[in-house]
């Protein structure tokens, strides 16, 4: 039976995203007679660019929020599928263990029947008196009844074994599909994290350039 690898990607959290309150229009101050040499400057063109970027970044932020929610739902669904797979595996393992125990018991019983048959064969070849012959015939009748029941039980066990093999095959088929699903989700998550990393860099550059107090220059 194929072993399942646990889902490898970390769950995405919405709180990791930049909050809207951190994205602000630049604070512009027109000052005279105050110390402004340490204050960063900004031109009208740069101000216009900041205002345009602010709208774009807000839109991208909202898009990331929605995509994060959707991916969290996909991850949760995948985690549930993994748990269901683990539960199914445990159930099959218990069922397989029970079937193996039954097979072992039937094999032991078959060995006992071989010994009984050999003993009865020896007895039936001997010359005996009528009471002893009657007793041997009763033993033979009981042996035949026990063999008939053994054969019936063996047929039931054979059917049970075939059903178990079918379940195991279905489990392995489902497992292959689940592994492909997890691989796709991991790839999708990795791509998302790369895009988010790029967006975080863009956001940081925007905050450095476009937030806080600036002195306005022509």
| Residue 189 near residue 9, CB atoms below 8 Å | yes
Inside any domain, residue 2: no
Inside any domain, residue 42: yes
Starting at the edge strand found earlier in the chain, the sheet holding 213-217 runs 27-29, 213-217, 41-43
Please tell me the predicted confidence (pLDDT) of residue 13: 37
Inside any domain, residue 26: no
Tell me the pLDDT tens digit for each residue of 96-131. Answer: 999 999 999 999 999 999 999 998 888 888 888 888
Q: Give the mean pLDDT of 145-170.
A: 94
Inside any domain, residue 48: yes
Inside any domain, residue 14: no
Q: Which domain range does residue 150 map to?
A: 34-210
Of 168, 162, 153, the C-alpha closest to 94 is 168
| Residue 14 near residue 69, CB atoms below 8 Å | yes
Question: Domain total for the chain?
Answer: 1
Inside any domain, residue 9: no
Tell me the pLDDT tens digit for each residue of 8-67. Answer: 333 333 334 444 333 334 444 444 445 556 677 777 787 778 888 888 888 988 998 899
Inside any domain, residue 182: yes
Inside any domain, residue 133: yes
Its pTM stands at 0.66
DSSP alpha helices (H): ranges in the chain? 44-124, 130-210
Q: What are phi and psi of 127, to 5 degrees?
A: -85, 125
What tokens does 123 get? 């007895």
């Amino acid at each position: 039976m194929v072993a399942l690898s646990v889902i490898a990607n970390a769950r995405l959290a919405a709180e990791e995203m930049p909050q809207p309150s951190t994205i602000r229009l630049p604070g512009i101050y027109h000052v005279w007679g105050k110390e402004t040499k340490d204050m960063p400057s900004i031109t009208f063109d740069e101000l216009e660019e900041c205002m345009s970027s602010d709208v774009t970044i807000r839109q991208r932020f909202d898009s990331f929020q929605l995509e994060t929610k959707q991916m969290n739902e996909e991850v949760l669904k995948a985690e549930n599928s993994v748990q269901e797979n683990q539960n199914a595996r445990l159930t099959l393992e218990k069922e397989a263990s029970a079937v193996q125990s039954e097979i072992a018991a039937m094999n032991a019983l078959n060995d006992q029947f071989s010994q009984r048959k050999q003993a009865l064969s020896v007895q039936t070849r001997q010359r005996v008196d009528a009471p002893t012959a009657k007793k041997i015939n009763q033993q033979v009748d009981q042996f035949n009844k026990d063999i008939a029941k053994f054969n019936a039980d063996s047929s039931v066990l054979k059917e049970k074994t075939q059903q178990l093999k079918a379940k195991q095959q279905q489990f392995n088929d489902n497992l292959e599909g689940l592994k492909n699903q997890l691989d796709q989700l991991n790839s999708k998550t990795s791509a998302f994290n790369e895009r988010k990393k790029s967006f975080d860099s863009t956001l940081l550059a925007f905050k450095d350039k476009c937030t806080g107090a600036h002195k306005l220059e022509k």
